[in-house]
Amino acid sequence: MTPAAALGAGGGRVRGLALRLWSSTWVWSTGVQALQSGISLVVSVVAARLLGVAGFGAYVLVQAGVALLAVLQYQLVSGPMAVASGHRTRTPPYFSAVARGALAAAALVGLAVALYVEVLVRRPDMLGGAWLPVAAALFGAGFVAHDSAKRLAFATNRPRLAFASECARHLLFAAMVAAAWFAWEIDTSTLLACGGLAALITVPIYAGTLRARVRPVLHRAVWQHHWVLGRWLALVVFVSAAHEQLVTILAGSWLGEDAAAGLRSAQILLGPLLVLMTSLEYIMPRRAAQRLREGGEAALIGYLLRILVLLEVPIVATCVVIAAYSADILRLLLGADYARFSGIAAIIAIGPPLILARDFAVICLRVTRRTSSVFAAFAASALVTLVAAYPLIAAHGVAGAACVVILGHAVSTAAVLFLTARAALRAGR
C-alpha cells in the first residue's frame, strides 16, 4: 500500500469513528450527565461564595425539596417513558401526552415547593425572603420541566438536542446571574429565579412535541401504563436516594439554614468523587453482564471485586486527605466562614467508600436478577435514618445530622453486601 493510500485509509477510519461517536446516544447521554453533575458543583461553589452561609443554606434547602419531588416525578413520568419507548416504537401522540403530563407535573412541583418554602424555609428577616416562595416555585417547575424535556429528546432520538439544551441552559443561567450581579445584589431568590428562567431554553423541545393531538382515551391509557411501570420503582428510588435530602431538610428546619449549608459544603468537597462514581453506572453493568455470560457467577464476582479494590484504594486515600485538610480546603474553595464545618466534612468523607461498595453489590444483584430483596435493604436503611434523625440531631446538632447520613449509608451497604454474599453462597452450592 502506498503512503497516500495508507493515509487515506487512516483518514477513513478516523471519519468512521467520529461518525459513530456523533451518532451514539450513549456518548451524548454520558456528556449530558457529566455536564450536569460538573456544573452543579460549580454552581454550588458560586452560590456559597455569593450568598454567605445563611443564604446558601436557604438555597440548599430549596434544592433538597426539589430533588425529593423530582425523584418521584421521574419515576412516574419520564422513567416509564424511556422503558415504554424502548420496547417498541411510540407515536407522536404518545410523546405529546407525556410532554403534557411532564408540564403538569412541573407545575405541581412548583406549587408544592412554594408551600414547603413558605412553611419551613422562609423567615421575615431573610434577604429577599418575601420573594423566596415565588422564586423557589419557578426553580422547581423549571428544573422538572427541563429534566423531562431532555429525556423526551433522548426518547425521540434527538440526543444532540438534549446536549445542546443542557449547554444552553447553563450558558443562559450564567448570563442572567452575571447581569443580576452587575445590576443589584445577588440573594437566594435571585439565584433561584435565574435557575428557573434558564429552563425556558427547553421551549423548542416541548413546542415540537406538543404539536400532535392527543385524545382523552390515550391520556388515560398512558398514565395507567406509567403508573404500573413506575409505582414500585418510585418507592425504591425514594427510600434509596432521598435520605440525604431528607436529613438536610430536617436539620435545616430544626437548626436553621447554617446546618443545611454545613452539610452541603461538606458534600461539595466530595463532589468530584461522586461524579466519578456516578459515571461508572454507564459502564459497569454492561461489562458485569458480559463477565457473567462468559464465565458464570464466579467470574462476575471476581471481576467486580478486582475493580472494587482498585477503585476503593484511591477513593479511601482521597477521603482521608479531604478529612485531614477539610478546613483549609473549605476556606480556599468556599470562604473563611465555611472552615468551621471541617468536622462535618470529616464525617461525610466516610460516605464514598460505603456508597461505592454498595453500588457494586447492587450491580451484582441486578445482573444476576436477584433484586427482590434490595428494596427491603433500602427500606430498612430509610427506617433507621428516620428513627435516628431526631435524637442525633437534637444531641449533636449538624454533626449529628452528618452522622445520620453516614448511618443510613452504612445500614444499606451492610444489608446489600449481606444479600450479595448470601446469594453467592447459595449459587456456589
**DSSP output for 73-127:** HIIIIIHHHHHHHHHS---HHHHHHHHHHHHHHHHHHHHHHHHHIIIII--TTST
What are the mean pLDDT values of the chain's consecutive 10-residue runs (429 residues total)?
52 60 64 77 88 88 88 75 61 78 89 88 63 91 88 79 85 90 85 89 76 71 68 62 79 87 89 76 72 82 89 93 93 90 93 90 79 74 85 92 92 87 68
Single out the residue in 241, 265, 283 at which a domain terminates: 241
Q: Give residue 406's pLDDT.
A: 93
Residues 181 and 302 occupy one common structural domain:
no
CA 89 to chain centre: 28
Does 278 share its domain with 192?
Answer: no
Closest CA relative to residue 172, chosen from 333, 34, 43: 43
Q: 148: burial class by Cβ within 10 Å (0-12, 13-18, 19+)?
A: buried
- Clarify whether residues 216 and 342 are in a common domain: no
Give the count of domains, the chain. 2
Residues 262 and 381 in one domain: yes
Q: 330 and 416 share a domain? A: yes
Could you tell me if 35 and 152 lie in one domain? yes
Cα-based distances in Å from 388 to 39, 136, 143, 255: 33, 29, 31, 16
How many whole angstroms separate alpha carbon 191 and alpha carbon 319? Answer: 31
Give yes or no: residues 381 and 425 share one domain.
yes
Query: Could you tell me which residues come within 8 angstroms of residue 367 by beta carbon, excluding any fewer than 6 positions away?
Result: 285, 288, 289, 292, 300
322 vs 345: CA distance, rounded Å: 8
Cell numbers linked to 43: 454552581
Residue that is last in its domain, among 216, 241, 266: 241
Whether residue 214 sits in one domain with residue 127: yes
Residue with cell 447521554: 29
pLDDT attached to residue 75 = 73
Is 1 part of any domain?
no
Domain with 308 in it: 255-429
CA distance 29 to 33: 6
- Site of grid cell 410532554: 99
Single-letter amino acid code for the residue at 83: V
